[in-house]
Amino acid sequence: MQKKRLLLGQPLLDITLKRLCQEIIENIEGETVLLGLQPRGTYLADRLNRFLKSDFSIDLPLGYLDATFHRDDYNRGGNILKPNSNTIDFIIEDKKVILIDDVIASGRMVRAGIDAMQDFGRPAKVELLCLINRKYERDLPIQPDYVGKGVNTLDSQKVLVEWKEQGFEEDNIWIID
């Protein structure tokens, strides 16, 4: 039987998201855009974008990036991966891109996202924002620039992020043993 432990819930989650927005604002350089990494990073990107607009009157271009065909496990193990759509209606060439994902563990999905982003141009700078940083899980030397919360987890544990937008009753982040 799996055991769920609450890592972040309301109102602490909103406080964490607003702090991340403040960090983004402190570090805006030139033209800055937000890219939510499909599929789960888009929920976080939407929420951050909403807070930036409503609480700070900052309107940054927001897009969604799919990295399915850039993953290193795309053709492994007989798994058929279903791609999401890219929604990027702006140019990323020579802009600062903040790549957004909900959880970073091995770094492989972020690497795939960076590869996929190159199909849309060469940004001046890329920064990584993640809500949960699973420390000590990295396979690649990739570290986030913006972190909501860092956690020490075992390989056997999972981090589950639930958003209202996904149909959950409330926003929660769990560690599952």
In the chain, where the domains are located:
10-72+82-152
- Tell me the C-alpha distance between 23 and 65, whole Å: 22
Please return the burial class of 58, using the count of CB atoms within 10 Å of its CB with bins 0-12, 13-18 and 19+. Answer: middle
Half-sphere exposure of 79 (CA within 13 A, CB side): 11
* Reported pTM: 0.90
Percent of the chain topping pLDDT 90 = 71
What is the average per-residue pLDDT within 35-57?
Answer: 95
Contacts of residue 135, Cβ cutoff 8 Å, sequence gap at least 6: 150, 151, 152, 153
Q: What is the CA radius of gyration of the chain?
A: 16
Distance between CA atoms of 166 and 111, rounded to whole angstroms?
Answer: 25
Distance CA(118)–CA(11), nearest Å, equals 37
SS3 state at 5:
strand
Q: Which amino acid is at 142?
A: I
Is the domain 10-72+82-152 a CATH 3.40.50.2020 member? yes
How much is the pLDDT for 68?
Answer: 79
65: enclosing H helix or E strand: strand 62-65
Query: Is the pLDDT at 51 greater than 90, yes or no?
Result: yes
Question: Quick one: average pLDDT of 120-136?
Answer: 94
